[in-house]
Amino acid sequence: MRQNNFWFICLLFLLSFLVSETHARQKVVRILAVGNSFSQDAVEQNLHELADAEGIPTIIGNLFIGGCSLERHVRNARTNDSVYTYRKIGLDGKKIEKKNMTLEMTLADEEWDYVSLQQASPFSGMYETYLTSLPELVKYVRIHLPKKCQLMLHQTWAYAANATHTGFKNYNRDQLTMYYSIVDAVQKASKQTKIKIVIPSGTAIQNARTSFVGDHMNRDGHHLDLKIGRYTVACTWFEKIFKRNVVGNPYYPKGMDYDQREVAQKAAHEAVLHPECITELTELKQPATKVNYDEHKVPVYTLPDVLTLNNGRKVTTAKEWSKKRRPELLRLFETQVYGKTPDRPKDLHFRVLTEDKYALNGLATRKEVAVYLTKDEKHFMTVLIYLPNQRKGPVPMFFGINFKGNHAIHPDEGITFPSEERMVTYGRKQMFPRGSAASRWPVEMLMEHGYGLATFYRGDIDPDFDDAFQNGVHPLFYKKGQTRPAEDEWGTLAAWAWGMSCAMDYFETDKDIDSQCIAIFGHSRLGKATLWAGAIDPRFALVISNDSGCGGAALSRRKFGETVRAVNRQFTHWFCRNFWQYNDKEETLPVDQHELIALIAPRPVYIASAEEDRWADPKGEFLSGVYASPVYELFGLPGLPVKEMPAVNQPVLSGTVGYHIRSGKHDINMYDWTQYVKFADQHLKKDH
C-alpha cells in the first residue's frame, strides 16, 4: 500500500510539473479595457473566441460606466470611488461580473499586459477633451501597472448617419466629419501621451460601411450591432494586439453568414494596415452568391475532357498521357491555379537534431531532422519522424504537414517545443498546447501496423496568413527588385507542397525509411496542398486527400459549398493570383479537379469526405475520382470502381482510386485513418 501511495504521489508531481510547464510556455495574455459601453461592444464578445481559435490563452477585463468620459475617470481615480462595473472573461471563456469596483482595485486584479483607454463617444473627436484629462489618467494608470504593461488608445467609431444621439450635433450630424475628427483627435492624443498602440476600431467600422453591409453596423445609431458590428471591432483588437492577420481566423459568431464574416475580417485587417484612412472594400460591394447546398441548384456544367489534348486530339495510350497530356495539364495547373514553384534549393542539406530509440515506451524511435533550405542554415524546417521499433528493414511511412506544430501531434515530452525565435518566424506569440492535435495523429496505431509517420509544421515553410509573401520561403527566390510572386507563381499551398518535396529528399537518405513507399496525406487546406504535391512529385507512392474541398478534390464547376470566389477572397494567399480571374467564372477554367487527381496516376490516390462537411462538397470530391478513372484505365488499372456515390461509412477500397464518406463533420479521425491503413496495406506493403 505504501509503495502504491509513493507512485501515486510521483504521478501527481509529474502531472503538476507538466501542467506548469505548459502554462509557462503558453503565456496568458491579459487585456483590460477602461471605458464605457463602447468598450463593452469592443471586448466582451468575440475577442476571447478569436484568440482561442488561434491557441492564444487570454483573460479579458472591461471596467466601465455607461457614457463615462476621460474627465470622469480622472475624478474617480482622484477619489478612488467604487462606482464601476467590472466584467472579466477568464481562460475558460466564462464571464464574471463585480459591482462597486474602483479603478485601483481593477488595475491590481491581474498582471495586465495591455490596458486601453478611450473617450466617451460624444467627445471622441474633440482633441481638447483629451488634452484636459488624458495625461493625468495615463500617469495614474502607469503608476498602478507593471512596467511590462502597454497602454493603448481605443479609436472609437462614428455614429450611423441617421443617429439621434445628442452628441452627434458636435459633428454637425455628419458621419464622415465625426470619423475624421476621431482619427485626428486620437492621433494627436497618442503622440501627446506617448501611447504607441492605437486600436483603429473606428476605421474598421468605416471600412465595413463601404461594403454591401452599408451603414448597418449599429443597433441604435451609436452602439454596435451585436453580430457584425461587434465582430468587426473584435477582429480589429485581435489583429492589432496579437499582430496576426485576422483574415481566415476560423471563429465567427453563430448565425453570421460567410459574406458578413469576410467583410468584418477584411475591414479590420485593412484598418490595422491603414488606421487613419478609409479603405474601400471594392470587391465586397455586393455579397457573393448565396452558398449553395442544394443539389438541385448545381449548375449544368461540362468538364474538360481529361483525355483530350489542347489541340483536340484524343489520348489513347499511357505513353501519350505521360508524354503529352500530363505535361499540358501540369502547366495549366501551375500557371492558372497553384503557381509555379522554383527548383529545390541547391544548398539543401540535413541534420538529425535528436533521436530517441525508446520513444513511446519503447514502441518507436523518434527523430527530429532539420531540413536546411539555405547554406547558412537560417531557413529550415524540422521534420518529426516516428518509426516502429518492430521492423526488419526500411518501413513504409505516412507523411503529412500539421496545423499546430510538431509538439501538438502527440503529448510526447520528447518532441521539441518551438523556441521563442521560431515563434517570431511563425508570427505567433503563443503556440498551441502540447498534444492538442493528438486526435488527428494516431501515432501508436500506425506503429503497430508497421508504418512510420513523419510531419512538419506548416509555418516552417509559410505561415498561413497573408503578409504579401514576406514571412515564408518566397523571398528566398525573388529576383532582383521582386517583392512578391508574379501572377503565375506560387502561393502558400504550392509552397507547402514544395516543402514536402524537400522533406522527401531527406527520406531518400534515411536507411530506416522505405522512400519508395511513402503515402502523403492532408486534411482540409493541407489536403489541397497534398494533392498538388502528389501531382508534381512522382516520388510519393500514395496520395490521400481528407475533406479538401474547392482547390482540392472537389469539382470547381459544381459551385457547391466552397467556391473559387469564396476561397480566393477569404484566403488571398493560397493560390496564385491568376486563379482570381475565375472567381464566379468556374466554367472558364481550363482545368478542373478531376484532372488534378488524374495527374497522380498510375499511383494510388484516396479521397475522403464527411457527411456534414457540405462546404467541401462531398459529391464533388467523389466525382473527381470517377472522372479521373479513365487515365488509370490507360495503365490497365481500375481507378474508382464505382460510379454511384457509396453510402455513408461504406468505403470503396478495391480500386486504385479509393473513396469514403463517413458520418460526422469536417475533421480527420480514427475512422478515416483505419481506411487509409487498409488502403495502404494493399498498395505499399511489399509482402501483400
Residue 8's pLDDT is 47
The DSSP line for 45-79 is: SSHHHHHHHTT--EEEEEEE-TT--HHHHHHHHHH
Residue type, 565: R
5-34 tens-digit pLDDT? 555 444 444 444 444 444 344 589 999 999
Q: Does the annotation mark 501 as catalytic?
A: no
Instruction: State the CB neighbour count (10 A cutoff) for residue 317.
Output: 11
Residue type, 190: S
- Whether the CA torsion 160, 164, 170, 173 is positive or negative: it is positive
- Whether the CA torsion 224, 228, 232, 234 is positive or negative: it is positive
Give the Cα separation of 463 and 228 in Å (integer). Answer: 27
Give the Cα separation of 58 and 50 in Å (integer). Answer: 10
- All three cell numbers of 460, joined, read 516552417
Bond before 602 cis per omega within 30 degrees: yes
Residue 619's pLDDT is 98
Phi, psi (rounded to 5 degrees) for 542: -150, 140
Phi, psi (rounded to 5 degrees) for 609: -130, 170
- All three cell numbers of 326, joined, read 500530363
CB within 8 Å of 87: residues ≥ 6 apart: 40, 44, 61, 62, 64, 95, 96, 97, 98
The DSSP line for 187-243 is: HHHHHHHT--EEE-HHHHHHHHHTSTT-S--BSSSSSBPTTHHHHHHHHHHHHHHH-
- All three cell numbers of 169, joined, read 450635433
CA-based angle 275:281:283, to the nearest 5?
150
Q: Are 71 and 101 in contact (CB under 8 A)?
A: no
Q: How far is CA 575 from CA 101, 180, 291, 465, in A?
A: 51, 37, 21, 12
Q: Are 585 and 531 in contact (CB under 8 A)?
A: no
Give the Cα separation of 32 and 113 in Å (integer). Answer: 8
Residue type, 95: K
- All three cell numbers of 615, joined, read 462546404
- All three cell numbers of 96, joined, read 464574471
- The one catalytic residue among 524, 545, 548, 624: 524
Q: Which residue has the cell 494586439?
A: 241
Q: Are 130 and 185 in contact (CB under 8 A)?
A: yes
Q: How far is CA 592 from CA 260, 442, 546, 548, 551, in A?
A: 29, 33, 18, 14, 9
Residue type, 108: A
Q: How far is CA 572 from CA 302, 335, 558, in A?
A: 27, 16, 21
Q: Are 540 and 533 in contact (CB under 8 A)?
A: yes
Residue type, 267: A
Give the Cα separation of 170 and 167 in Å (integer). Answer: 6
- The one catalytic residue among 144, 349, 666, 683: 666
Residue 21's pLDDT is 42
Q: Does the annotation mark 666 as catalytic?
A: yes
Residue 621 burial class via C-beta count within 10 angstroms: exposed 0-12, middle 13-18, buried 19 and up: buried
Residue 421's pLDDT is 87
Mode of pairing for the β-strands spanning 542-546 and 364-372: unpaired
Give the Cα separation of 321 and 314 in Å (integer). Answer: 10
Residue 311's pLDDT is 96
CB within 8 Å of 11: residues ≥ 6 apart: none
Q: Which residue has the cell 491590481?
A: 108
Give the chain's residues under pLDDT 70: 1-26, 289, 686-688
